[in-house]
A and B are shown apart, each in its own frame.
Chain A
């Protein structure tokens, strides 16, 4: 049995009087890829943001191995170095080149030797096909390229777990693939990942386990086959049907 990296227990999150997450339990094992799906506004982003302490929680606990993750607590700076996060809109630092974006945290936060990190960064950039862009500024890159840089930036911290929040949602369709391919490669390397996505095909390909969240709760979870092909709950079926319907509509329109 692989060790558990991230544990969420009885997590409750409220905004003012609105309950966003209610009694969420989740354990992510080393090397596991967990994909979270669910309707817009169900709390997927909120759950990810809680996982690296960007959101205050009302009750329950989140732990990276044995360390508690809590917004505002003093150890957050240490813990976040072990949790990589990739945002929907890349959030690269626009005033720094691609390479400097990647080097900033490893050199300033982890105080690692610049030469070592640079060698690692260039190797990673090469892996995602962007070695020649090391000296470019983010504004000179396409969305797909920016997102690949953002992934490399997170990887270069050597995190124990990676969080992805709809990282292809802002991309033009032809760029979605290049980013998903990078993530599939990471899954093959047995990286521990939690991925929020609306790309169902991708979810099927990459996930070890799929969670369906609705109304702030995990409604259903299991292997991709179980949840995506043979959902037990009606809500899950309804949700997945929306995608079917969208596909039919798209076909009719085009």
Chain B
């Protein structure tokens, strides 16, 4: 083990970790918005739009992120849309994550009793108020464990960003291995940094799951 090497290249990993985190967080943020939008469309069974949403979910879930990224990275410029690698990474993650988030929010919505809507309506709430104050809070808290599992999954998926030359953790490790052949050190740093990113989310997930189960609204 070459500690000098580790010390020397630690800053590079730090930078890469920050990039991974940045792209991951922004991508996931968009994924959440897409997911919520899709879940609400499916909940209200909005004609036509719900079909588009369903098609998107199938497409997104049944193609690898790498393929989606290539599509965005190499495809968009061909039809005249200028992109940079970071935007592509974010878009790819949002495209993939949107469907996963949609699925977990959807199951959250499904867990809310239909008669809650009538209960709210009988108090004079309009459909926006019903969604905002009655349905959404219940649906979201049911979806929290699924949501956190998706966050972990999506953060891990960022490792394919290296394929479109983003200098994320994976890219940095591969690059350094190629340059200096310090495979062990590079991989240890790689694993260490991924753990650093993901372990807190994982622990949070475990904590939340316990709480949600304890809070379990059901009757």
Binding site for B on A (CB under 8 A): 52, 54, 76-78, 80-81, 83-85, 87, 89, 91-95, 104-105, 108-110, 137-139, 153-154, 157
Chain B residues with CB under 8 A of A84: 122
Q: CB-CB < 8 A to B217: which residues of A?
A: 94-95, 137-139
In the bound complex, what is the Cα–Cα distance between A81 and B120 (angstroms)? 11
Given contacts A85-B122, A95-B141, A139-B216, contact A109 B129 (CB under 8 A): yes
Please state if B137 and A95 are interface contacts (CB–CB under 8 Å). Answer: yes
Q: Is B133 an interface residue (CB 8 A)?
A: yes
Considering the complex of A and B, which 6 residue pairs feature the smallest CB-CB distances, nearest first?
A94-B217, A81-B124, A91-B119, A105-B123, A85-B122, A80-B124
Q: How distant is the Cα of A104 from the Cα of B118 in the complex, in angstroms?
A: 15
In angstroms, how far is the closest chain A Cβ from the Cβ of B111? Answer: 11
| CB of A174 to closest CB in B, whole Å | 18
B115 touches A77 (CB 8 A): no
Roughly how many angstroms separate A76 CA and B121 CA in the complex, as a whole number?
9
Q: Is B218 a contact of A139 with CB atoms below 8 Å? A: yes
Question: For residue A108, which residues in chain B have a CB less than 8 angstroms away from its CB?
Answer: 125, 129, 133
Tell me, yes or no, whether B165 is within 8 Å of chain A by CB. no
Question: Which of B122, B123, B124, B216 is within 8 Å of A78, CB to CB?
Answer: B124
A77: chain B residues at CB < 8 Å are: 124-126
Measured CB to CB, the closest approach of chain A to B218, in angstroms, equals: 7
Residue in B126, B134, B216, B219 whose CB lies within 8 Å of A93: B134
Check if B138 is an interface residue, CB within 8 A of chain A: yes
Tell me if B183 counts as interface (CB < 8 A to partner A). no
In the complex, chain B residues whose CB is within 8 Å of the CB of A81: 123-124
A87 to B123, CA, bound (A): 12
Verify if B184 is at the interface (C-beta below 8 Å from A).
no
The answer to whether B218 touches A87 (Cβ under 8 A) is no
Q: Which residue of A lies closest to B134 (CB)?
A: A93
Given A91-B116, A94-B217, A95-B217: A109 in contact with B122 (beta carbons within 8 A): no
B113, B134, B216, B217 interface centre (most CB from chain A within 10 Å): B217
Docked pose: A110 CA to B126 CA in angstroms: 12
The residue of chain B having its C-beta at the shortest distance from the C-beta of A105 within the complex is B123
Question: B residues within 8 A CB of A80?
Answer: 121-124
A154 to B219, CA, bound (A): 20
Q: Out of B113, B122, B123, B218, name the residue touching A104 (CB < 8 Å).
A: B123
Q: Give Cα distance in the complex from A41 to B25, angstroms.
A: 54
Establish whether residues A54 and B125, one from each chain, have CB atoms under 8 Å apart when the complex forms.
Answer: no
Inter-chain contacts of B218 with A (CB < 8 A): 94, 139
Interface size on B, as a range, is 20 to 34
The answer to whether B124 and A91 touch across the interface, beta carbons within 8 angstroms, is: no
Residues on B with C-beta less than 8 A from A94 are 138, 217-218
11 A-B pairs in the complex with CB atoms less than 8 angstroms apart: A76-B121, A77-B125, A77-B126, A84-B122, A93-B119, A95-B141, A104-B133, A108-B125, A109-B129, A110-B124, A139-B216
Within 8 A of A (CB), among B161-207: none
CA distance A222 to B126 in the complex (A): 37
Q: Provide the residues of chain A in CB contact with B115, threshold 8 Å.
A: 87, 89, 91
Q: Name the distance in Å between A91's Cβ and chain B's nearest Cβ.
A: 4
* B residues 108-146 touching A (CB-CB < 8 Å): 113, 115-116, 118-126, 129, 133-134, 137-138, 141
Extra contacts, 18 of them, besides A80-B124, A91-B116, A157-B123 (Cβ < 8 A), are A52-B122, A54-B121, A54-B122, A77-B126, A83-B122, A87-B115, A92-B119, A93-B133, A94-B138, A95-B138, A95-B141, A105-B120, A108-B133, A109-B123, A109-B124, A109-B126, A139-B217, A139-B219
> A78 — nearest CB in chain B belongs to which residue?
B124
Cα-based distance from A87 to B120 in the complex (angstroms): 12
List, in ascending order, chain A residues with CB within 8 A of B138's CB: 93-95
Determine how close the nearest CB of chain B comes to the CB of A46; give it in whole angstroms: 13
Complex Cα spacing A138 to B123, Å: 18
A91 to B134, CA, bound (A): 11
Contact A87 B219 (CB under 8 A): no
A167 and B141 CA atoms in complex are apart in Å by 29
Complex contact A105–B216 (CB within 8 A): no
Contact B124 A54 (CB under 8 A): no
Contacts of A153 in B (CB 8 A): 123
Residues of B near A105 (CB, < 8 A) are: 120, 123-125
Q: A93 vs B113: C-alpha distance in the bound complex, in angstroms? A: 10
**A115–B219 alpha-carbon span in the complex (Å):** 29
